[in-house]
A and B are shown apart, each in its own frame.
Chain A
Amino acid sequence: MDASSNPQIALTDAERFPLLDDLSFLNALRQDAFAPKFNFKSGDRLNAAQLLKVKAHKAEHCDKKSFWTDGQQPIWLADYLKWCRETVPFYQNNNINNTTDFPTISREDVRKYPHLFVSNDSNLDELLVYYTSGSTGAKLDVLFDAVSQATWLPQIESVLANFEVSITKGKNTTAIALICAQEKTLTYASLSTYLEGAGILKVNLNPSEWNAIGDAKNYLEKYNPQILTGDPLAFMALLDLQPQLTPKALISSAMKLTKGTKDTLENYFKCPVIDLYSLTECRNIAYASGIGHQAIRSDLYLEIFDAHQDIKLPDGERGELVVTGGSNPFLPLVRYRTGDFCSLKLVNGIPYLVDLEARNPVVFFTNAGEKVRTIDISNRLSHLSLAGYKMHQHKDKQIAFVGYSNDVTSEEILELLNGIFKNDCAISVSIQTISQNNAAEKTQYSSELMTP
């Protein structure tokens, strides 16, 4: 989530870190000679009871070996739906008895009526709000609490465990650095109570955010974060600095990670690069694995629906991913349409999202009218080290392709696309180099022609 808001009211460090007494490492991160011009302060806000809830979430939902079985629903689902019906105003007005009666809801419902999704059981003193511009949709107020925000960490720990990676806890290590490479974003140094005082950084590689050339490289090398998070564009911008870092893993999200970019990053950083699928509305959902994207948490029930009608599709059929559950009392989701498309496969009780494609199921056409699916284009482009791209088909069927890369050429792309479109489409390709302050849009595919 890009917290693009500009909060006016600051907290004290005691309010940011109720359980941490020793903030010396935080001060070191903030006051380092190479430190960026941090424009914000942030904490995890966890008190003792909330910290226990985060740990309980790990035990209950992140360490499970089986989420649900074929033809069955998760055991928590009936109680969760009952609770939603009884305490969440948005669902109270529906005369519904079980999951098959619940209609799907959309991002538009959450955007228009965020207040109606707040459970009557929730304590408004614990409410936190992000205002996000959203990379793929209209602006959104995201309501959450400190617990649902901090559960990102155990969820990621469970993913890392599958790569035999663990985060070292403690107050003299930087656990996570969220890397950005954009015009403007909130930046801060912080700590994690759950990780026993380990450092958390959010930095923007944009040179205007640093005091001197080379500071970004020097700062990151000095604190050498264990885990780097960000999107492919930011990672490629980081790679451009050739930093001497030894991360345990990179976690890429928000944009599609091509195999080419993944290989480039893994070769350089000598660690796994994990392609994470997450949404602002419910955070982590799945990560890329051999079969497809493997679900991370057992508290999210996943279903596939028809794109246009409220009809649940059988396992194995491709359609829109719909999620139910989560740990956010301020946004409990029931059959929330993600806008993303895949089919579902259950392997030993763990769901996999097969051929997951970002929202807007666009179909392109050759001049002869032959359909070309975006999944086929994504697969063919994936071996190139494109940090991102967008592709648009005009009404006259001309295709405009813009890619972001420092080494892929437009000739390579053109040859590949001509192959996919059987030389039956006018295609223009431009490649933009990646900088430390990109303003790239994230939407990949669009068309002025009819979509399915």
Chain B
Amino acid sequence: MPRYDVFELVTHLRKCPDAYLKPSNLTHPDGLDSVALICDTYRVINLNFLQKEFKLPYANPLKWKKDNEWRAIHMSAWLLSHKVFLNISKPDEKLFMFWFKDLSDASDYVEADQWINDEERAEEMVRLLLNRCEIIPYGESHEEAADKLSSVSSAERHKVLTQSYEAHERIMQIKREMAEKKAREAANTYGRE
């Protein structure tokens, strides 16, 4: 059983070669062939270099993806080149969800360069991948891993901020209404209290 050390994987990710940082050929003519990179990654992880069937989104969604998302996927392909990922069981479904759900969601809030330039974002990508692959990081319990992912998750933070903002807005609205209604007539009083 390999040791999935978050610190080691973050270090590995942050050493991502320039070749993986290029835009996608689906958004730039001189870009990296994203689909080929994905297919190669499936082959490597599956240790099946003759693999011809790959789990990909339908053709059009591939083109709709923004460059920010493609570049995140390219970097994650480098992350997945670490030897510890060669042992993932049934990786196709997990990698598909990681690329096209988890990274896609996070990319709404994370600029591609941050995945390697910002240590916390690098940790976020590592933890998103481990979580999707149902791997508990070395030295952590299931609960600790979930807590740490939650604490670095950009999508989660955005959700909390949105909720906090909405709660704050609601309270401000109540205070405005209170001030306004206090100046108005209320309703009949029938007895003393």
Contact = CB atoms under 8 A, between A and B. Distances in A.
Interface of A: 1-3, 5, 7-11, 16, 40-45, 89, 114-116, 118, 120, 124, 127-131, 141, 143-144, 146, 149-150, 152-153, 156, 176, 178, 180, 190, 192, 200, 202, 229-231, 234, 251, 253-254, 276, 278-280, 283
A3 B174 contact: no
Nearest to A179: B192
B189 A202 contact: yes
B182 A129 contact: yes
A180 to B, nearest CB: 8
Nearest to A202: B189
A116 B178 contact: no
B177 A124 contact: yes
B193 interface: yes
B188 interface: yes
B185 A129 contact: no
A16 B170 CA distance: 27
Contacts of A283: 193
B101 interface: no
Given A114-B178, A127-B181, A129-B182, A278 B171 contact: no
B50 to A, nearest CB: 54
B190 A89 contact: no
Contact of B185 (A16, A153, A178, A276): A16
Contacts of A202: 188-189
A64 B186 CA distance: 30
A190 B188 contact: yes
Nearest to B172: A115
A141 B183 CA distance: 12
Contacts of A156: 190-191
A203 to B, nearest CB: 12
B167 interface: yes
Nearest to A192: B188
A44 B188 contact: yes
Given A7-B184, A11-B184, A115-B171, A1 B178 contact: no
A1 B185 contact: no
B151 interface: no
Contacts of B27: none
B158 interface: no
A93 to B, nearest CB: 11
Given A7-B182, A45-B187, A143-B178, A2 B192 contact: yes
The 10 lowest CB-CB distance pairs between A and B, nearest first, are: A254-B192, A229-B191, A129-B181, A115-B174, A128-B186, A1-B193, A129-B182, A9-B184, A149-B187, A280-B193
B175 interface: yes
B189 A11 contact: no
B173 interface: yes
A114 B186 CA distance: 17
A340 B190 CA distance: 22
B174 A178 contact: no
Given A178-B192, A230-B192, A279-B193, A131 B182 contact: yes
Contact of A200 (B170, B171, B184, B188): B188
Contacts of B181: 127-129
Given A9-B183, A128-B187, A129-B181, A118 B174 contact: yes
B93 to A, nearest CB: 34
A124 B193 CA distance: 25
Contact of A229 (B170, B174, B187, B190): B190
A7 B188 CA distance: 13
Contacts of A152: 190-191
Contacts of A43: 185, 187-188
Nearest to B176: A124
Given A43-B185, A127-B178, A278-B191, 15 more contacts: A7-B184, A8-B184, A45-B187, A118-B174, A124-B173, A127-B181, A129-B182, A131-B182, A149-B186, A156-B190, A229-B191, A230-B192, A234-B192, A254-B192, A276-B191
B192 A3 contact: no
A229 B188 CA distance: 13
A150 B187 CA distance: 8
Contact of A3 (B170, B171, B173, B189): B189
A42 B186 CA distance: 7
Contacts of A40: 185
Given A115-B175, A124-B177, A129-B178, A3 B193 contact: no
Nearest to A188: B188
B190 A115 contact: no
Contacts of A45: 187
